[in-house]
Structure 1
Amino acid sequence: MTKEKVKMSTGRKVLIGLIVVFVVLALAVYVGGIFFFKTHFLPGSKINGVDCSFKTEKQTQEYMREEVSVYTLAINERDEGREKLEAEEIGLTYESDDSIGKILKKQNTAAWVLSLPKGKSYQLDTGVTYDQEKLQKKLKSLNCFQEENITAPQDASIQETDAGFEIVPEVLGNQLDEERTYEAVQKAVENQEQELNLEEAGCYMEPAVYQDDKTLKKHQKQMNKLTDVVITYDFADRTETVDKDVIKNWLVLDKKGNYTLDEAKVAEYVNQLGYDYDTFGCTREFVTALGETIRVKGGDYGWAIDQDKETKALIKAIKSGETQVREPVYAFKGWDRSTNDIGDTYVEISLKDQRMWMYKDGQLIVDTPVVTGNHSKGWDTPAGVYAVDAKKSPAVLTGEDYASDVTFWLPINGNVGIHDADWREEFGGDLYLTEGSHGCINTPYDQAEIIYNNIEIGAPVVVY
């Protein structure tokens, strides 16, 4: 064997020997660790936040006892307030039991090497005791519980200003919920925590409504929209104004939680308008189309606000958000507010002459024969000054023994009204005496169409 081969063989033997020695030592350390950690806590072990690494059960018990005796809980409050609670103030002591021993026995000692990088934390529900009355007394003595230092929370709200309805931000305050605070402190003490942030623990009483609350913002928007409108009633020589100062008293929440208008209060307002401004039918002097001056009485013509419709119309006008000048919806409406409230747009019917005229803006646009109520059967068309109650096209007129289809229907007094009558070939003359209608004014189709297209609800119809 050459010298070189001898040297190589010797080097291998040395290397192998070193490896063997290292393995034996590593095995010895590992086995030793297994036996050591049967009675000692693994590296990184913490119990209730106390580091117990490499300590025996007895050492851990003693160490925890010492830690508990000097325990201090820092209490961080809102607005940078800070107070503390010490062990002796609440009679805090450590009481040993077999819990630590049980943890020690459950350690996986065979895997002690794996615990080196991370360790393990344990939480025991037992181990410390304290006097609950002393704890409660201590809490009540803290500055944060003194009445002079407490500001109660306030909800964000909506308040009226000159500019409209604005959101006033909430006030957080610093009022603590005693029960929640006690529970949070109790938990911190039992877990041996070093600090407790009362705000993070949810101990403060909070406003129920914040300025960014969606419902609050919705209500503000709704209130401003409803009140940011001016409705002016024009009564010729007088006006009435419905603005924010009036509307704000009508605001109410509906069943869905939305601000709307209290219909009953709006109705009260409209009722007062009627009381102040309504007129009703009266006997009038009237100059006929043939130039004769007569007196006409009866009928339902005059100025009278339709309470229900105008209430709804006013609500609709306000909700539209459009500032406007308007007149009320009238159940009975004089054509203008002048002395001659019939005005210059009206329908005139002569029962004697069986003739009907219509004037629009003072111009004659219809002059036609008609057939009125059957005189022989007592169905005479009633005389008086009426207003067109409605317009409907088409319509079906019904009675006890008839149902008639018409294209143009203008009721003026219940079931009495002006309408076309395509079943008639002749109009005028003495037809009404025995072949008249049930009370309506039968009109040629083309003339009825002209009247229908040129007349408005509330226009006067003079029947004499």
Structure 2
Amino acid sequence: MEEKDLETRATRSSRTSNNQTGKKPKNKKNRPIMVPMVAAIMIFTLFLLIGYAFFQSHFLPMAEANGTKIGWMNVDAAQKKLEELNGAQQVVIESAEGEQQVIDLPEKYNVTKEFLDENISQSSIKLPINETFKAELEAKLNELTFAEGAPSQDAYIERGEAGFQIVPEQYGTVVDKAGLMEKVLADVEQNTGEYTYNVADFYQKPAVLKDSEELTNQMAALTQKENKTITVAISDKSVQIPKETLQTFLNGEGNADQAAVEAWVTQISPEYSSISQPITFTNIHGETRRYLNNGSYGWSINIAETAALITQAVDSANGEETVTAVIDGDVNQSSVVNQTYVEIDLNNQMMYFFQNGVKTIETPVITGRYNKGTATVPGFHTILYKDTDTNLEGSMLDGSKYSVPVKYWMPLLSYGQVVTQIGIHDADYKLEHFGNKEAYMTNLGSNGCINTPGDAMSQLFAASYPGMPVIIYGTIYDDAPSEFDKPVDHGEPV
């Protein structure tokens, strides 16, 4: 009894102690869960070890070489499959008429076990190409032959009836062999598997198309130039260049052709230059006549310099341009002679000198001997130059020679800028015959020159200048024998 009480107390004491420390007795149910987890880890590790060992001799699942899948394969199987890439393939070139040229592709890839084994751990492999592959293929492609064909033509600008226009390009039939070879080589390298080509797809194309920026800009420049307004100021006149004329100035590149501009300036020069205009003159008797200009009195347009200025204006970016023509000569020399000049009246054998519109010299003269071959020819002349103390030498109609010393000598320039070898000079050895209107009918007549008293000649020489007008008029030689040997102009009545 005492023993049971002791045991009971001990048990209670133990429980009380356990309760006081907070500890719970172990749960034997957790032990079965740990066993499967350990087993799973061991199996996974085993699979990893097996997989690692497997892929030491096999390619990874997603592996491919040049686009060909070789996943899970060993080296032998992969080599066998990849060698199919070197299978018999052909390049076929078809002509427009349906004829074919066929090329067998050389072996492209160098597929070796050593290479595959070295890259077995790679997922994307690029096979090495045989060193001779490209050279062999290019050699075969170079052997291709094609018909000569018609060449393509570039678009271009031409001048038509309505102005400048773009002529469209034309496509030819010449094969671009280099382009075809480049395409074949690229396709074979990429293993497209489609190696049939039509030569019509490789005809050489025009280099310049109708809608190209180059032609578009060029056409815009031409349109702007041919529609611009260019006015040429010529002394006190002006002329606007017509659009049709502007078009002729432009070449195909849209630039002004100075030669064409010069041709136009040359064409209009006689119309505007005073040196080309007739001379209007009213003589001392009140008769007004129009004479041909001898080509030295007045001013003319400097063709080259004026054309250069117009060329610059055409090529400028401005829509409007005014060009001032370059003038050669004296713009004050009017086509109406009424200021400073010499007037010779053949019928009355008189000479007059007007300076600034005022008559300062009036003197009798003796003109050419009565024969058209020695006549003093009517018309508009100018003084060519002035000389003093010289000898006038020549031959008369009968062949006799003459040599006349003169104090003052002023030769004349006649129509067409002809040096007539006649002029105005002193002749005092004929002093007593001046005033005889019939002296020219005798041996006193000159060889065409205007013989003048020394005093009057001295005054005239001092007041005159080279280029000064000399107007000769009269009809005394109209009925003379022989023929005139110099230009004659009686003038037209105005």
Give the TM-score of the pair, scaled to structure 1. 0.49
Give the TM-score of the pair, scaled to structure 2. 0.47
Q: Which has the larger Rg?
A: 2
